[in-house]
A = this chain, B = another copy of it.
Amino acid sequence: MAKRLGKFTINLTNKPKIISAYSVVGKKEGEGAFKNYFDHILKDDRFGEKSYEGSEKRLLEFAITNAIDRSKKSFDEIDLLIAGDLMNQITSSSFSARALNLPFLGLYSACSTMTEGLAVGACLTDSNCINTCAVATASHFSTVEKQFRFPLELGNQRPPVAQWTVTGAGCSVLSNTQTTNYLARVERVTFGKVVDFGVKDVNNMGAAMAPSAQFSIVSHFEDTKTTPDDYDLILTGDLGKLGSEILRDLMEHAGYKLGANYADCGQMIYSNDQRTFMGGSGAGCSASVFNSYMIKKLAKQELKKVLFVATGALLSPTSSQQGNSVPGIAHAVYLTAGSNESLKTGEN
């Protein structure tokens, strides 16, 4: 039985295991900081599809299929696919679930889907409601930009606070299996609240999401009586350069100093010469970084205690056009390192 810790945190009893992971990214992401860690880099972001929506769906399906293959589980042993994406009505996820013929739990949490999914999947596997699930999300530059901002063909100039939507997908397979070969364990989860500081600039996602990251991280610290020093890494999703600076400020106001053990997937995914301004964003940003570099570091025990906090901006084109501000959400998942056996075999 899981136990509540403090007001917002769930302490899992059996610490479900991530038994496999897979990441796939587009060409631009494959030239960035993590190029040696992604499992697959596309040569062409169309991925052989006629529409970009088709490409995004194929990206997601590709990540899920490969993660399940790596898990050595058959598709029949996957009790649930937990997935969501940024497309209207999460069609990338639904259509992937259709193609893969898996029981499906559809989520929407914008760019925080990876940790929302890991949190739900960890709770469900911890309690034996399900034994094994695949948790996945994706985004594609060419689907997201046209849906949320402008047609690509317009060639709009991007403002300096803009982030670049990551073309990429990631999938983790979570299980309550007894295996001693695993990449990481999920120990605790904190579901976030929707926080809104009134940011109305749909290009400035980092500023819109930073307050929700602060809420979830501070809640997690308070509930678990920990401080930043208790973690090897505190990793946010896609706050980008500006958003992660804002988060540092907000955390300092709350009495916590984030040091060198704080990083953000969006800030890191592109190299400085790639002219993406504030860095990467999109559900595929934290999903691809977590399921490549981060999971490998956890499996190798080079990171032992990671608080992973993907962040999402809960706007829609309609909500923005009607003058609403951009609310943010962040879900926190506390992970510990992989097993010694995984360290030795290094299969993932």
Contacts and interface: CB of A to CB of B under 8 A. Distances in A.
Contact of A89 (B80, B95, B316): B316
Contact of A194 (B54, B97, B193): B97
A193 B318 contact: no
13 contacts: A4-B79, A4-B130, A12-B129, A87-B316, A87-B318, A88-B88, A88-B89, A89-B108, A90-B314, A91-B316, A95-B314, A103-B192, A123-B124
A317 interface: yes
A3 interface: yes
Given A95-B327, A327-B94, A103 B53 contact: no
Contacts of A322: 51, 53-54
A154 interface: no
Given A89-B88, A94-B329, A127 B79 contact: no
Nearest to A54: B322
Given A106-B109, A124-B123, A101 B316 contact: no
Contacts of A91: 314-316, 318-319, 324
A250 interface: no
A108 to B, nearest CB: 4
B2 A128 contact: yes
Given A87-B318, A91-B316, A101-B193, A128 B1 contact: yes
Interface of A: 1-4, 8, 10, 12, 51, 53-54, 79-80, 84, 86-91, 94-95, 97-98, 101-110, 116, 120, 123-124, 126-131, 191-196, 314-319, 322, 324, 327, 329
Contacts of A51: 322
A79 B322 CA distance: 31
Contacts of A109: 105-106
